[in-house]
Amino acid sequence: MGLAASQARLLLSYARKSDIELRIQILSQRRMQLSFHTEKLATDYADRLNNKKMVVKQGDNEVDLTVGQLYLLNLKPKFRADGSDVPENLDPKLLQQALRAGTVYLNYIVVPQGEKADTQVDWRTNTSIIEKLDTSDDEWASAIWEAENTKIQQEDKRLELEAKNYETQHKAVETEIDAIQKVIDKNIEKSFKTLG
């Protein structure tokens, strides 16, 4: 094999090596994206398991906190921004979020003796309002976690195998580059000995 052919083969091998290195980088980025997706999935799962709801204790029963239930407790919810009344048909989840965030406050409908007329009532101090874990969606959250996590693990294994395949190809190309370099070196050495 001549010097020019060896040089062309060397350049092709370097191009192949660069291509393989790029593919390995792309696989690494995809695996990193999977790890970010796994982190988000785990956070969502934890949030779903730790979600809370407010309930009103009525004897031995507990019912979801609604505007109507607050009226039964002699409490009237009002928006903090303008002091207007909260509509009775407000979604219980939105009401509960607003109470937690402090954008809605409570006043007495009929002011108890010894209280001021405009006293704001903190829902956390009312013994009839209880905040507890909402376990109604835990099975659903677990099913989603299992399904998504399984998909992510399978994709990660596939990417890992593909990366190993490219690493093997990378080593083979490096070995080929070394062999071609030796052939070129021998050709150069022969040429100079002939001339010298």
How far apart, in whole angstroms, are the C-alpha atoms of residue 23 and residue 39? 24
- Domain regions of the chain by residue span: 3-48+139-195, 52-133
How far apart, in whole angstroms, are the C-alpha atoms of residue 58 and residue 63? 8
User: pLDDT band at 126, cuts 50/70/90?
Assistant: confident
Determine the pLDDT at residue 21: 95
User: pLDDT band at 2, cuts 50/70/90?
Assistant: confident
How far apart, in whole angstroms, are the C-alpha atoms of residue 94 and residue 103? 11
Q: 6-10, 157-161, 188-192: lowest mean pLDDT where?
A: 188-192
This prediction has a pTM of 0.63
CB 182 within 8 A of CB 22: no
Exposed/middle/buried for 41, CB within 10 Å: 0-12, 13-18, 19+? middle
How far apart, in whole angstroms, are the C-alpha atoms of residue 179 and residue 181? 5
What mean pLDDT comes out for the span 72-92? 86
| Residues in the chain, total | 196
